[in-house]
Amino acid sequence: MKSENGFYGQFGGSYIPEILYSSQQQILTAFEEAKNDPTFLAELHKQWQQFSGRPTPLTYCENLTNHFGGAQIYLKREDLNHSGAHKMNNVIGQGLLVKRMGKTRVIAETGAGQHGIATALVAARLGLECTIYMGAKDIERQYPNVFWMKQLGATVVPVTTGAQTLRDALDEALRDWSSSHEDSHYLIGTSCGCAPFPEMVAFFQSVIGDEVREQSMAQFGQFPDRLYACVGGGSNACGLFLPFLDDKDVEMVGVEAGGKGLELGEHSIRLSHNLGQPGIAQGFATMFLQDQAGQLQETHSIAAGLDYVGVSPIIAHLAETGRIKMTYAMDDEVIAACTLLLKKEGIIPALESSHALAGAFKDAPNLPKDSKIVINLSGRGDKDIFNVAKAVQDETFPQFLTDYLASYPTNHVDNKEQNA
């Protein structure tokens, strides 16, 4: 979606410290040129195909459809990307742009670690130095992802300020960029931040919706009646929705994280239910979860990837104008939806994507039998093994962990030596 000077209605813009002005201008120019350069686009599609395995399938879910007895249910299988999530579409795009700009290092923030891993993968492939900022608390919760980032050669920096989660990691990435802008690119993971990041990330993610347009026509002879996507930062939703923006008959539903409840601090609902307020922070204007005094607040979701205090200015604008309908799913509904997909279709969804499933499953029984819905399965759930095991109260898992720990060698090699 094209912005007006970086703005989408009242949202978006560029609110960055002066020190970043030149770097931001460089990205604006480089992106504007790259997206109109057939050579760049050819390389992008080649990398998407050869490195990430695109196009991803559109999978018909017969069992789920029969189970609900309403709409025909299809999944867009972004979980089948290399690295297991849609994040790959964006990091490949920005990675190529970094090479084009002649920079040698990338910085990224990560919450759950998915964007961190995707960035580390691309940095390794393109020969870029890579530093990932991650809240110290998130590092504790998501250590397996941290392990892989380090193995891929990235430096993972624990952020110990504030709540020590994604928001603080983003602040710290901006601080690094303020110092390192001459040779580093801030490879932001979602369609947030100062212009042109929202537009650029949405552009690279729009391959999702572009493929669904072709696949839906080929597989069922029409565009979908409804699209569902979870909304954390908003990049997978932008990717699925934006190519259908002008197709007025295609309805769009964004699903936010209801977490444990609607009290401030218990959820990550910025758009539905009037829980967020307009604000300007972290480089852009959008709806933020904040207190009366404009201080940003803590958030919660069982899915770490949805646990963000702001939201894409593009999604905020489309929600405000009514083009996208926003709803939310609670943690327990999300686990139920995840479990149902496992049992009915043999697919392991990420907890983030399970929000989109939960939102769609609520509507499916009440939709006409000939209607078609497409749910964006933005990521696979292997990474959530610990959280899901805990949520379904698996009896054997604690014993497995105890036994594994007992057999773990104690004189392990220091990571630095290992990397040397």
Instruction: Write the interaction track for other proteins spanning residues 226-245; mark x where CB under 8 A is met and - where it is not.
Output: --------------------
Q: What is the C-alpha separation between 363 and 393, in angstroms, rounded?
A: 28
- Determine the interface stretch with other proteins among 170-178, 211-219, 262-270, 337-345 (rule: CB under 8 A): 170-178
Which residues make Cβ contacts (< 8 Å) with residue 166, sequence separation at least 6? 109, 110, 111, 135, 138, 304, 307, 308
Between 130 and 227, CB nearer to other proteins:
130
Task: Based on the residue annotation, tell me whether 115 is a catalytic residue of this protein.
Answer: no
Between 168 and 225, CB nearer to other proteins:
168
Are 346 and 49 in contact by the 8 Å Cβ rule? The answer is: no
Task: Based on the residue annotation, tell me whether 130 is a catalytic residue of this protein.
Answer: no
Query: E strand or H helix at 132, and its extent?
Result: strand 129-135
- DSSP single-letter state for residue 144: H
- Of residues 290, 327, 376, 387, which one binds other proteins by CB under 8 A? 290
Footprint (CB under 8 A) of other proteins, residues 202-221: none
Count other Cβ atoms within 10 Å, centred on residue 240: 30
Between 23 and 376, CB nearer to other proteins:
23
Instruction: Considering the candidates 45, 86, 185, 338, report the single residue annotated as catalytic.
Output: 86
Lay out the sheet containing 72-77: strands in order across: 58-60, 72-77, 372-377, 226-230, 251-259, 324-330
**Cis link prior to 158 (omega < 30° from 0)?**
no
Query: 362: buried, middle or exposed (CB in 10 Å: 19+, 13-18, 0-12)?
Result: middle
Footprint (CB under 8 A) of other proteins, residues 299-358: none
Footprint (CB under 8 A) of other proteins, residues 267-286: 277, 279-283
- Of residues 161, 222, 415, 418, which one binds other proteins by CB under 8 A? 161
Computed from CA positions of residues 99, 127, 173, 242, in that sequence, does the dihedral angle turn out positive or negative?
positive
- Of residues 21, 343, 399, 415, which one binds other proteins by CB under 8 A? 21
Question: Rule CB under 8 A: is residue 137 a binding residue for other proteins?
Answer: no
Which residues make Cβ contacts (< 8 Å) with residue 261, sequence separation at least 6? 267, 330
- Copy the structure tokens of residue 280: 């300007």
Between 149 and 169, CB nearer to other proteins:
169
For residue 334, the minimal CB distance to other proteins (Å) is 27
Instruction: Using CB under 8 A, count the residues that bind other proteins.
Output: 39
Question: Rule CB under 8 A: is residue 13 a binding residue for other proteins?
Answer: yes
- Of residues 295, 321, 366, 399, which one binds other proteins by CB under 8 A? 295
For residue 53, the minimal CB distance to other proteins (Å) is 35
Q: What is the C-alpha separation between 175 and 159, in angstroms, rounded?
A: 12
Are 375 and 362 in contact by the 8 Å Cβ rule? The answer is: no
- Of residues 54, 87, 103, 181, which one binds other proteins by CB under 8 A? 181
Q: What is the C-alpha separation between 256 and 254, in angstroms, rounded?
A: 7
- Determine the interface stretch with other proteins among 85-93, 177-185, 232-240, 370-378 (rule: CB under 8 A): 177-185
Between 6 and 254, CB nearer to other proteins:
6
Q: What is the C-alpha separation between 178 and 38, in angstroms, rounded?
A: 32
Name the residues that contact other proteins, by CB under 8 A.
13-19, 21-22, 25, 157, 161-162, 167-168, 171, 174-176, 178-182, 184, 277, 279-283, 288, 290, 292-297
What is the set of active-site residues?
A: 61, 86
